[in-house]
Amino acid sequence: MGTFRGVLEVNNVWVRYSGSGKPAIRGVTFAVKTHGLVLITGPNGAGKTTLLETCLGLLKPFKGYVRLLGVDTRSWTFTRIRRLCSYVPQDFMKPPHESFTVRQVIAMGLAPSKYPFEPISSNELWMVEEASKLLGIEDLLDKPIGKLSGGQQQRVFIARALVRRPKFLFLDEPFSSIDRESRGWLAKLLRWYVDSAKALALVVSHDVSPLNGLADAIIELRDGVLSRVRCFRECLSSPI
Amino acid sequence: MLELAYITSALGGALCGVLGFYVVRLGLTTLTFTIAHAALAGAALALVLGTDMTYTAMVLAITTSLVLGLIFSRVEYLRDTICMTFFSFFSALALLSIYLSNTLVLATATLSTVLWGSVLAVTIDKAVLLTSIALILTVYLLAFKTQISSLIFDKRLAEAEGLNVLMHTVIIMLITATSISIMLRVVGGFLVFTLIYIPTMASTVLTARANKQLLTAALIGALAGPTGLTISLVMDLPVGVSITLTAVAMASATMIVKGISLKHEVKKVKLTQ
């Protein structure tokens, strides 16, 4: 994998949901210079998920801008940048009638890079199996995702995120359904991925403990504004 | 002519069944309902303008799907309400057009085609067009199989991963708009969406697997069309109504069959315990 050369730039970002008067985040500014693991934390309703989805371009700021690798998230060309990103949403749970197998769901992560008529190759299927082994779900590969528990489903989505070998990982509460004993192991896995792939991981979590000593920076939000930034390694530049 | 009507109703039924599967899985149900009414308004407008019913319906349905696609790419709020506003407008436009059309029209087969469909309304060029659309859809689904699977599994996640959700949604809506416009001649404007929703509902009851749902929806649509047509001919009923009632009967039968098989399964489990 190539060296991570880009930055994430969040400049005076204000985001409001349609139909809501009050902005969910206000004047948030920070920049990430290099690869690393950045934890976004704060109490419920602080705007953590909003900030994460804004960085990924799923939500558009009405004031300010977000640039990933120098490309504005509002630009039409941002879809291409998203192909370098992986996302694990907070509300990942699929209903019991969802019949796609775990293998299919993980392989779907490779879909955006496919040309028309190009099938999933045998090498990619091997990558799917390797990603499942990393998350300890190799025995579930042929089971329908809807039949799995919340914790198992969350592992599937993290495996899907990793199989894409992304340069940017956006994880929203990735420990929420994982049992307490496995959280530390998952945090170390994320750290390992960030270092080996020279990637940037933005992790939203109200629980800081799994990433204690592993995060390079912690961004704290409170009531939609950036309340504190702690840097343990040079990956964040000071607020613009 | 009758053979053509049978072929068109079978092919159109299968096509609408397949489209229905994607429409439901992509959460485009209300949008499709609105597009169907845009087609109805277009067909009714053709009575006033003296233009071809199918092509006028197609112009309005395609324009509506593009306009709504554009609005939906920018607005996440009140989408259903926006669709229902368009639906109300198109219903009013359809009724106004019928009112303004030549009074003689009210008694002719032309109007009955708009309202409840007609076997005689299917022509070779429309059948060829429908076949072309079915082929285009097949090629499109084969070309983007992996991408579309990702899309129907989780649209937002697919978007976050860099899939062009808007492009795929618009393609499916355009194919749906065109198919509805052609099938409107067979089933009629007020019931044209029958073949989109009912086969999908029945297939969802029958099986949980996505690929089987797709095939079952196509099969139910392909059966409901010609069966309804036969009932219409034998009992001298409007063709659209006959096809709709056949589709509803088939969906009810699948629910009963599923209910019985579930009861048997529960009994088996109880016996083994």
pLDDT in tens, B117-148: 776 677 898 889 999 999 999 999 999 999 99
Q: What is the amino acid identity at position B7?
A: I
Domain termination site, one of A165, A180, A195: A165
Q: Which residue has the higher pLDDT, B112 or A202?
A: A202
User: Which DSSP string do the residues of A115-175 spell out, in sequence order?
Assistant: PTTPPPPHHHHHHHHHHHHHTT-GGGTTSBGGGS-HHHHHHHHHHHHHHT--SEEEEESTT
CA-based nearest residue in chain B for residue A93: B154
Does the pLDDT at position A237 exceed 70?
no
Same domain, yes or no: A6 and A54: yes
In a domain, A91, yes or no: no
In a domain, B111, yes or no: yes
Q: Which of B176, B155, B225, B243 is nearest to B18 (CA)?
A: B176
Residue A162 CA to residue A159 CA, distance in Å, equals 5
The Cα-based distances of A177 to A46, A146, A148, A183, A191 in angstroms read: 21, 15, 12, 9, 19
Residues 6+ apart with CB under 8 A from A239: A29, A30, A226, A229
pLDDT of residue B107: 59
For residue B224 the two structure tokens come to: 């409901």
Dihedral pair phi/psi, residue B159, rounded to 5°: -65, -45
Q: Which residue has the higher pLDDT, A1 or A155?
A: A155
Residues of B contacting chain A (CB within 8 angstroms): 75-78, 142-147, 149-150, 153-154, 156-164, 208-210
Same domain, yes or no: A132 and A184: no
With CB atoms and an 8 Å threshold, state whether A112 touches B162.
yes
Same domain, yes or no: A141 and A172: no
Question: Of the given ranges (B3-12, B99-108, B148-157), which has the lowest mean pLDDT?
Answer: B99-108
Please tell me the total count of domains within chain B. Answer: 1
Same domain, yes or no: A177 and A64: yes
Residue B19 CA to residue B14 CA, distance in Å, equals 9
> Rounded mean pLDDT of chain B?
89
pLDDT of residue A4: 42
Say what percent of chain A tops pLDDT 70: 95
Same domain, yes or no: A203 and A232: yes
Does the pLDDT at position A2 exceed 50?
no
Question: Of the given ranges (A213-217, B130-134, B182-186, B248-252), which has the lowest mean pLDDT?
Answer: B182-186
How do residues A88-100 score in pLDDT, each as one tens digit?
A: 999 999 999 899 9
Same domain, yes or no: A233 and A126: no
How do residues B75-122 score in pLDDT, each as one tens digit?
A: 777 888 999 999 999 999 999 998 888 756 555 667 777 777 776 677
Does the pLDDT at position B273 exceed 70?
no
Question: Of the given ranges (A16-30, A225-239, B147-161), which has the lowest mean pLDDT?
Answer: A225-239
What is the interface pTM, i.e. ipTM, of the complex?
0.92
With CB atoms and an 8 Å threshold, state whether A99 touches B150.
no
Q: Which of B145, B160, B209 sits opposite A99 (nearest CB)?
A: B209
- Find where tokens 């599923």 sit: B258
For residue B165 the two structure tokens come to: 């959700």
How do residues B166-208 score in pLDDT, each as one tens digit?
A: 999 999 999 999 999 988 888 887 778 888 999 999 999 888 8
Same domain, yes or no: A77 and A141: no
Same domain, yes or no: A75 and A131: no
Same domain, yes or no: A103 and A161: yes
In a domain, B202, yes or no: no
> Rounded mean pLDDT of chain A?
91
Same domain, yes or no: A5 and A59: yes
With CB atoms and an 8 Å threshold, state whether A120 touches B144.
no
Residue A29 CA to residue B147 CA, distance in Å, equals 35
Region for residue B121 given its phi and psi (left: phi exceeds 0; alpha: psi -120 to 50; beta: otherwise):
alpha
Nearest CA of chain A to the CA of B236: how many Å? 41
In a domain, B220, yes or no: no
pLDDT of residue A234: 73
pLDDT of residue B123: 85
Cα within 13 Å of Cα(A181), Cβ side? 0
Instruction: Note whether A158 and A174 are within 8 A (CB).
Output: yes
Q: What is the amino acid identity at position A37?
A: L
Domain termination site, one of A165, A191, A222: A165
pLDDT of residue A1: 41
In a domain, B102, yes or no: yes
Q: Determine the average pLDDT of the residues in A123-142.
A: 96
Q: Which residue has the higher pLDDT, B79 or B38?
A: B38
In a domain, B69, yes or no: yes
Residue A138 CA to residue A135 CA, distance in Å, equals 8
Nearest CA of chain B to the CA of A104: how many Å? 9
Q: DSSP label at B57? A: H
Residues 6+ apart with CB under 8 A from A16: A22, A23, A24, A62
Same domain, yes or no: A171 and A228: yes
Residue A134 CA to residue A141 CA, distance in Å, equals 13
In a domain, A211, yes or no: yes
- State the residue range of the domain holding A59: 1-84+166-240
In a domain, A90, yes or no: no
Same domain, yes or no: A6 and A41: yes
The Cα-based distances of B22 to A40, B9, B14, B143, B202 in angstroms read: 37, 20, 13, 15, 14
pLDDT of residue B86: 96
In a domain, A92, yes or no: no
Please tell me the total count of domains within chain A. Answer: 2
Q: Determine the average pLDDT of the residues in A187-210.
A: 93
How many other CB atoms are there within 10 angstroms of residue A141's CB atom? 18
In a domain, B124, yes or no: yes
CA-based nearest residue in chain B for residue A101: B209
Which residues of chain B lie closer than 8 angstroms to A85, CB-CB? Answer: 160-162
- State the residue range of the domain holding B73: 2-195
